[in-house]
Amino acid sequence: MLFIEKSIKNYKNLRTSRKISVIMLIGIIITAQIASIMSMIAVNDVTQIISEVKAPDGYMKTNFDITNPDDMEIVVPYDIRNLGMYDLTDIEMSIKVKVEYTHNSTGKEMEEEIFSKTGDIDDCKAGNSLEAEFEGGAGDFDLPILTEFLFYFDLNESVSILVDIKLSAKYFYGLIEFTIVEKSLDLTDYDSCPTC
């Protein structure tokens, strides 16, 4: 009789543990489905956000006057619209400017980086826009390279001043990281507003 009572008690414990296991399995499946749906929504949000990032957003201001280093600058306006449900965090922008020219004393084709700056941008809350300017001054210029360019570029040959802009950010609690790169933008297309 004692054996039968133990067997019945063990059977009841086994049924209870199976019920708990089934409930836990259902909970895990539901949680995984919710996480999957939220991830798909977040990826869709990121796609929309990327399409709404404008850098540069208008004309860039530049001053390469090496005789007055305090006034040297590059200013890039940007507009980040966060159409998503989560904040954009850890936003970082990087600007590089290079020149392509013919050296007038050697005739050699040159490609040199004259400016480089990387910096953090404020977080952009969900549903908000962030319109501002990313600025760099004399300390961000490579003055020896810029000086050589200004003194030795061949006036009879074409000169290109190209800007690379890179913006990276994190979304969905930092789980999705993305980077937008605009390479070799011709500065003459974005410099000095003709109607300003």
Q: What is the pLDDT of residues 132-179, one digit of tens each?
A: 999 999 999 999 999 999 899 888 888 899 999 999 999 988 989 999
Cis status, amide bond into 56, omega within 30 of 0: yes
Q: In which element (H, E) is residue 161 found? A: strand 160-171
3-state secondary structure 48-105: HHHHCCECCCCCEEEECCCCCHHHCEEEEEEEEECCCCCCEEEEEEEEEEEEEEEECC
The mean predicted confidence, pLDDT, of the chain is: 87
User: Which neighbouring-strand residues pair with 179?
Assistant: 168
Q: In terms of DSSP H, where are the helices of the chain?
A: 2-51, 143-152, 187-190
> What pTM, to 2 d.p., does this model score?
0.77
Comparison of pLDDT for 191 and 99, the residue scoring more? 99
Structural tokens at position 166: 């890179």
Quick count: other Cβ atoms within 10 Å of Cβ 37?
10
Contact assessment for residue 88 and residue 99, using Cβ atoms and an 8 Å cutoff: no
For the domain 49-190, what is the CATH code? 2.60.40
Kindly indicate the confidence band of residue 192, based on its pLDDT and cuts at 50, 70 and 90: low
